[in-house]
Structure 1
Amino acid sequence: MDYNKFASTILETVGGEKNVISVGHCATRLRFNLKDDKKADTEFLQNLKGVVGVVNKGGQYQVVIGSDVRNVYK
């Protein structure tokens, strides 16, 4: 997998760099704080190869990737 391309696709799909307040990760998820979560294309992300799921709750927009999350976060 091309992690740089995958990460760029995710970033654009959550509304681009200007829509991201902060981003971090846990063991399996990228955790975004977004300015406007309505700009994120959840349906596209849910169907993107390499994404296990999407969770939007508690003020965080989380993209579930699995154990490769560290490689994507870099």
Structure 2
Amino acid sequence: MIQFEVNDMTCGHCVGAIAAAVKEVAPDAVVAIDLPQHVVRVEGVCDAGAVERAIREAGYSPSRKA
């Protein structure tokens, strides 16, 4: 599982935009988003860099969590 903290994710629209961006680069990924904690969890992908770039290209600032 890959986790990102996305502090500029503030609403349901943000959640939808990030989920769509991740699914665009990893259609089979399982995306779980915890809006109150600003955490995006992605399972089923090997390329964390591609997922991070997709979130950035959607207009957000992810930071990888250990």
Query: What interval of TM-score do these two structures reach, taking the shorter chain for normalisation?
Result: 0.3 to 0.5
TM-score by length of 1: 0.42
Question: Which structure has more RCO (C-alpha within 8 Å, separation ≥ 6)?
Answer: 2
